[in-house]
Amino acid sequence: MTTGPAVEVTGLTKVFEKGRRTVWQRLRREPDKRSKFVAVNGIDLRVERGEIFGVLGPNGAGKTTTLRMLATLLEPTSGEVRVLGIDVRKDPRQIRANLGAMLSGERSLYWKLTARENLEYFAALYHVPPKETTARIDAALVAVKLTDRADDYVERYSTGMRQRLALARALLPDPPLVILDEPTVGLDPQSARDLRDRVRELKRQGRTVLLTTHYMEEADQLCDRIAIIDHGEIVALDTPAALKRRIRAEEVVSLEIGMTGEDAPMLARLANSAVIARSERHNGTLAVTAHCASARDFVPAAFDAARSEGATIQHVEVVPVSLEDVFISLTGRALRE
Amino acid sequence: MNTGYLAGDLRALRAAGLMSLRQIRRYPTNLFGTIFWPVLLPAVWVLMGQAYSGGGDPEALNAFASRAGTTGIALFVFIGYLMYMWLSALLWGPGTALRQEQIRGSLEAVFLTPVSRLVPLFGPTLTNIVWIVADLFVMGLAAWLLFGVVLPLQGVVLAFAITLVGVPAMYAMGALFGAGVLRFGEIGPAVQFTRGVLSMLCGITFPIAMLPGWAQATAVAMPPTHIVDGMRNALLRSASPGDLVPTAAALIGLAIVFGALAVVVFRWLEASARRTGMLGRY
């Protein structure tokens, strides 16, 4: 295995065609009228060895498509992809032999088999040498804390346990690189916290972890660096702290303003003392998210502005800057939208 | 081919067969079908054939023998149905194995490993060989108990040998349908149509001499025709091993043709699935 970055991506693009082109249309050589959907649009990425790298973005942003191309499940339309120094087009099998991936979570297991039987089967698929199989399976079960339930059928597991078993399966080839797609989606808070601990342990073991998530807190807590992706493009890439510094605010203030008049004059007044990241009107309430240097200075100014416009401030909340605010400032939308 | 990969793939093939057996064992009621279908399905046709031939009328039996090469209607039909059951299992088998993986969500997990794509295609269906032996045993027992037909030992050995020679060609046919799953998802109607056509062409319940000339010519290009003919030669016409060499040669030739076709089609459709993202959809 070569040294260098764990993942190196240049100009990666994936275009899907919408609809079908029938055999009849092909035989008649009719022009291809299918519309095209650009899922990933020329992204550049470099993941260093030993780091936890997060790809953060809303649903449909292109996160999973990117991961599937790195994992050789999907063929890129264009661009260069090297995983562990290997070109995905030239030797995909070699990449798969050194890659641990958890892409479809609990559904990817055989529920009528026990955890150990699942791992035995996948150990064979990963070409684990027979003499090492038992030790690898035991190590994987220990790593995800499932040893005591190893001989239970997977159908009797909770969702969190199945996710952990899927992670154990990804560890069977003893991979230097682990790819996780939304690893904590659908988990209760305790199970999610438990899985995040397992991911930190992977880093301590010297592995590189590349994960996608749409949970900002998860990305913030886990990742050394984060790429924020939207509409198939990377809109920012840096450490969580550096990303938060980008919006040039120390605090974020959420206001709910009861008012009957137009939004624009109110927003213009607020903009004199803060950056208005987001505003939304629901009947008689205007919800505003403002980025400011000091809430202590901004909040009284906001009350003055409301009084001048004949409005009343119904709710004020001051929170530290989060990655959600970074995403809003970069895209004008919330992650959940 | 990299020998390291080959050794690993062979171990994975065994593991896939074992995994499939384990899952079958967890639904034991499925085994019930292994006992009654090989008896009930052919028995209906044997009784019908006996009724149409006047319950053993020598003139009618001679007329049947002139086309089928034997007067043993019961064993003729039982052998045909053995082929039919195997044909069904193999046409459905690889495709169904991939389809179930696709619906369950485990197909991508399997395709994320370095194992050859042929392992998930064929591994789970290796158990078919166990079933074909079980069917052969149950049918032999039923033919003896219900119709008084005793299978000759040499014939049984030769029939089994012909079955083994036919395995690659049959699996290659199955692979063609399995490949379709990767690109199109559901292939049930195509399998049903093909199974129906092959049942008619390959002489499952009647001699292919009954077919028009063009259909007989088509039947010769189909592996099941040769397997069923070889088994009937071995069990009904007292063929020697030497008599079955042309049948074995035809099956090996068809295995090469169908095998090459299956590899080309599988690779093409897998590449298409990787391009369109069909692997993860269903």
| Cβ within 8 Å, pair A112-B23 | yes
User: Are A276 and A135 members of one domain?
Assistant: no
Q: Who among A103, A125, A130 is closest to B108 (CB)?
A: A103
Q: Who among A99, A108, A127 is closest to B8 (CB)?
A: A127
Q: What ipTM, to 2 d.p.?
A: 0.81
User: Are A109 and A208 members of one domain?
Assistant: yes
User: Are A193 and A292 members of one domain?
Assistant: no
Output the domain CATH number for residue A216.
3.40.50.300
Bridge pairing between strands A52-56 and A78-83: unpaired
| pLDDT for B97 | 77
Q: Which residues contact A52 (CB under 8 A, 6 or more apart)?
A: A199, A200, A202, A203, A208, A209, A211, A222, A223, A224
Q: Are A118 and A109 in contact (CB under 8 A)?
A: yes
What band does A32 get if pLDDT is binned at 50, 70 and 90? confident
Mutate to test the interface with A, among B13, B25, B101, B113 (most CBs of A within 10 A): B113
Rounded to 5 degrees, what are φ and ψ at A28?
-85, 0
Using the Cβ of B281 and the Cβ atoms of chain A, whether some distance falls under 8 Å is answered with no
User: Are A100 and A211 members of one domain?
Assistant: yes
Q: Residue A326 falls within a domain, yes or no? A: no
- Residue ending a domain, among A188, A223, A244, is A244
Using the Cβ of B30 and the Cβ atoms of chain A, whether some distance falls under 8 Å is answered with no
Q: Who among B112, B114, B280 is closest to A127 (CB)?
A: B114
3-state secondary structure of B166: helix
Q: Residue A44 falls within a domain, yes or no? A: yes
Please state, in angstroms and as integers, the Cα–Cα distance from residue B282 to each residue in A20, A162, B278, following that order: 16, 22, 7
Q: Are B190 and B177 in contact (CB under 8 A)?
A: yes
Mutate to test the interface with A, among B112, B115, B121, B270 (most CBs of A within 10 A): B112
User: Are A144 and A228 members of one domain?
Assistant: yes
Q: Provide the edge-to-edge strand list for the sheet that holds A225-230.
A: A99-102, A177-181, A208-213, A52-56, A225-230, A233-238
Query: CA-nearest residue of chain A to B14?
Result: A124
Using the Cβ of B12 and the Cβ atoms of chain A, whether some distance falls under 8 Å is answered with yes
Q: With contacts defined as CB-CB under 8 Å, which chain A residues touch B276? A: 16-17
| Cβ within 8 Å, pair A127-B4 | yes
| Confidence check: pLDDT of A1 > 60 | no
Q: Residue A141 falls within a domain, yes or no? A: yes
Q: Considering all CA atoms of chain A, what is the largest pairwise distance in Å, rounded to the nearest integer?
A: 79
**Cα separation of A81 and A102, whole Å?**
19
Give, as one character, the DSSP assignment of residue A20.
-
- Residue ending a domain, among A244, A275, A290, is A244
Q: What is the mean pLDDT of residues A251-280?
A: 89
Output the domain CATH number for residue A313.
3.30.70.1710
User: Are A73 and A172 members of one domain?
Assistant: yes
Mutate to test the interface with B, among A23, A108, A125 (most CBs of B within 10 A): A125
Which residue range forms the structural domain that includes residue A304? 248-320
pLDDT tens per residue across span A144-180: 899 999 999 999 999 889 999 999 999 999 999 999 9
User: Are A188 and A284 members of one domain?
Assistant: no
User: Are A27 and A77 members of one domain?
Assistant: yes
Which of residues B214 and A186 earns the better pLDDT score?
B214
Report H helices in chain A: 23-27, 63-70, 92-97, 115-125, 130-143, 159-171, 189-204, 216-222, 240-246, 263-270, 295-308, 323-331
Rounded to 5 degrees, what are φ and ψ at B194?
-65, -40
**Cα separation of B216 and B218, whole Å?**
5
- Can you tell me which residue has the tokens 């698929």? A125
| Confidence check: pLDDT of B151 > 70 | yes
Evaluated on CA atoms B180, B182, B186, B188, the torsion sign reads positive
| Cβ within 8 Å, pair B109-A122 | yes
Which of residues A68 and B82 earns the better pLDDT score?
A68
pLDDT tens per residue across span A218-263: 899 899 999 999 999 999 999 998 988 877 667 889 999 999 888 8
pLDDT tens per residue across span B47-106: 888 888 887 788 888 888 888 888 888 888 888 888 888 788 877 777 777 788 888 888
What band does A81 get if pLDDT is binned at 50, 70 and 90? very high
Q: Residue A328 falls within a domain, yes or no? A: no
What band does B24 get if pLDDT is binned at 50, 70 and 90? confident
User: Are A224 and A253 members of one domain?
Assistant: no
Q: Residue A26 falls within a domain, yes or no? A: yes
| Cβ within 8 Å, pair A104-B280 | yes
Q: How many CB atoms lie within 10 A of CB B66?
A: 10
Q: Residue A336 falls within a domain, yes or no? A: no
The chain-wide mean pLDDT, for chain B, equals 85
Residues in A whose CB is inside 8 Å of some CB of B read 16-17, 65, 68, 71-75, 93-94, 96-97, 99, 101, 103-104, 107-110, 112-113, 117, 120-122, 124-127, 130, 166, 169, 173
Rounded to 5 degrees, what are φ and ψ at A116?
-65, -40
Give me the helix-helix angle, B188-201 and B73-104, nearest 10°.
Answer: 170
Q: How far is B182 from chain A (nearest CA, A)?
A: 12
| Cβ within 8 Å, pair B12-A120 | no
Q: With contacts defined as CB-CB under 8 Å, which chain B residues touch A65? A: 277
Q: With contacts defined as CB-CB under 8 Å, which chain A residues touch B126? A: none
pLDDT tens per residue across span A300-330: 999 999 999 999 999 999 888 888 888 877 8
3-state secondary structure of B102: helix
The residue length of chain B stands at 282
Region of poorest pLDDT, from A234-238, B24-28, B32-36, B65-69: B32-36
Query: CA-nearest residue of chain A to B273?
Result: A74
Q: Who among A107, A117, A130 is closest to B105 (CB)?
A: A107
**Cα separation of A7 and A54, whole Å?**
13
Q: Residue A55 falls within a domain, yes or no? A: yes
| Confidence check: pLDDT of A137 > 90 | yes
Q: Which helix (H) or strand (E) holds A11?
A: strand A7-17
Rounded to 5 degrees, what are φ and ψ at B85?
-70, -40
| Cβ within 8 Å, pair B14-A99 | no
Rounded to 5 degrees, what are φ and ψ at A292?
-140, 165
| pLDDT for B117 | 85
Q: What is the pTM of this model?
A: 0.81
Q: How far is B110 from chain A (nearest CA, A)?
A: 7
User: Are A291 and A224 members of one domain?
Assistant: no
| pLDDT for A2 | 60
What band does A199 get if pLDDT is binned at 50, 70 and 90? very high
User: Are A94 and A206 members of one domain?
Assistant: yes
Q: Are B104 and A107 in contact (CB under 8 A)?
A: yes
Q: Residue A14 falls within a domain, yes or no? A: yes
Burial of residue A336 (CB within 10 Å: 0-12, 13-18, 19+) is: exposed
The chain-wide mean pLDDT, for chain A, equals 90
What band does A334 get if pLDDT is binned at 50, 70 and 90? low
- Residue ending a domain, among A229, A244, A259, is A244
Q: What's the CA dihedral at B172, B177, B183, B189 to 10 degrees? A: 170
Tell me how many domains chain A contains: 2
User: Are A116 and A178 members of one domain?
Assistant: yes
| Cβ within 8 Å, pair B105-A104 | yes
What band does B254 get if pLDDT is binned at 50, 70 and 90? very high
Using the Cβ of B28 and the Cβ atoms of chain A, whether some distance falls under 8 Å is answered with no
**Cα separation of B120 and B97, whole Å?**
7
Please state, in angstroms and as integers, the Cα–Cα distance from residue A30 to each residue in A27, A171, B118, B182, B276, following that order: 8, 48, 35, 26, 20
